[in-house]
Amino acid sequence: MTNSTEELMCMLEEKIKFGDDLMVQLESVQNIDGVMKLQRKIRQEIIFLKRLLKSKKVKIEQLSCSNLRHLGAMVDCALRPGVVAVCKVFHIDDESKLLIDIISDEGKTWTKVIARNPKSLTALSTGKASYGARSILDQAEDYLLCASLYPCMYKPPKVIFEFTSGIEESLANKLKTAGVLVKGDILPDSHDYDEDDDNSWSSDQSDDDESNYRELPRENNTVETMSQSIHDHSEIDTLNLDVTAMMAYVSNMTNGHCNYVFKQEVLTQQSAWEAERPVKPVLERLFEGKTLVCCKTAWDDFEKIINNLGGDMEKKRTAELKEMVKVFPDDYGGSDDYPRQNLKVRGHVRLRSKIIFNFGHRIKALTVSANEGFVRAALQQGVTYASFIHESRALTEGKEKTAAQILL
């Protein structure tokens, strides 16, 4: 082999080792939504490079087109504190979707990672590229549009474009004017665009293609990222009560009667939890100073459950709760937006829950619920809700007569 070929083979081996190192780094953040997807992307690059190594027929262009530089920058971002998801797909409409590189700050921040050469980015933004290629300004428009469709706590996530290789000043200013926060070194304008410079036109190209699904152009984002502390919800004045929240509020178990061993194991378990972590004080603190509402479906179903299973005290508390809660028609607030309208009813996504949570979203309320399964399942479909998730508590007054009381 010639020296030139030997050098290319060494470079190839270094890239493969770099890819292997990235896989190892991601092992510590397996709990983050989308990390397995990121690992698959890295693995595909490694397999491609290993095939080149085995063939011993490698060209500098093949090394240049590897997407590992961008994926390495993605890994660096994924390892930062506060990241809740990577490589997350959001639907803009029936035909268009967008891949968001990094989601952090409890869903309030979306970050796109760009590792391409600054000169090529500027050239592309000024139209000096092949037909159909989308510039960073086009991608900024996509991100901002998508963020407006998927508010977190009813505010669009802030959009950050992070340039790991830097960005030229004029292009950075255009992004800032559009509403994008720019991170990375701000470089002087070169005014000298060379499409072959640093082989930047091929580098990161697969990323640009994928992050622009539009081609024109929402999976442990955990429940905890949607259900924050009571303090974090202080800016939302309206609470939308789910059936589970109203049951927990009026249950005998949460109102001083958790000292029972029931014939039903699940009720005994909830009683033990209630003794350790009382739910009623949490709800009362959350309700303080807030407007309490629910939709007709939620109240009607809750009332049926109370009439069938509730004891005298639980029915009395229900009458008191009714004085506190204003009931609205299910369709109050207008039509659902695209993501929630298209949420598929399957598995843990039941029609009743969809009606209740969508009602809360339309009126910009915080939905109070024990239905963690629905929130997780909705997230799997890319749909998020502003929600406060509490522990589940059942009605127990009617079961007390067949239960063994624990004397305190």
Torsion on CA atoms 336, 340, 345, 350, rounded to nearest 10: -80
Query: What are the tens digits of pLDDT across the range 340-366?
Result: 998 999 999 999 999 999 999 999 999
pLDDT at 359: 97
Give the 3-state secondary structure of residue 334. Answer: coil
- Total number of residues shown for the chain: 408
* pLDDT tens-digit profile, the chain (408 residues): 444 777 888 888 888 999 999 999 999 999 999 999 999 999 999 998 888 888 777 777 667 667 888 999 999 999 999 999 999 988 888 788 899 999 999 889 999 999 988 988 988 887 765 545 678 999 999 999 999 888 888 889 999 999 999 999 999 999 999 999 999 999 998 865 544 444 433 334 334 334 333 332 333 333 333 334 444 566 789 999 999 999 999 999 999 999 999 999 999 999 999 999 999 999 999 999 999 999 999 999 999 999 999 999 999 999 999 999 999 999 999 999 888 998 999 999 999 999 999 999 999 999 999 999 999 899 888 788 999 999 999 999 999 999 998 876
The per-residue pLDDT for 398 is 94
Q: Tell me the C-alpha distance between 168 and 341, whole Å.
A: 41
> What is the C-alpha separation between 23 and 85, in angstroms, rounded?
17
Give the pair of three-digit tokens for residue 306. Answer: 């109370």
CA distance 175 to 171: 6
Residue 168: strand, helix, or coil: strand
pTM for the whole structure: 0.71
Give the model's pLDDT for residue 219.
32
pLDDT attached to residue 344: 93
Distance CA 385, CA 375 (A): 7
Rounded CA-CA distance 67/87 in Å is 15
pLDDT of residue 317: 97
Supply the pLDDT for residue 233: 61
State which H helix or E strand residue 155 sits in: none
Per-residue pLDDT at 120 = 87
Cα-Cα-Cα-Cα torsion 333, 336, 339, 345, nearest 10 degrees, comes to: 120
Nearest of 353, 347, 350 to residue 245 by alpha carbon: 353
The residue type found at 150 is: Y
Pairing mode, if any, of strands 109-114 and 97-104?
antiparallel
Domains and CATH numbers, the chain: 3-211 (no CATH), 223-405 (3.40.50.1010)
The pLDDT value recorded for residue 61 is 66
Residue type, 96: S
pLDDT at 291: 97
Number of H helices, E strands in the chain: 17, 14
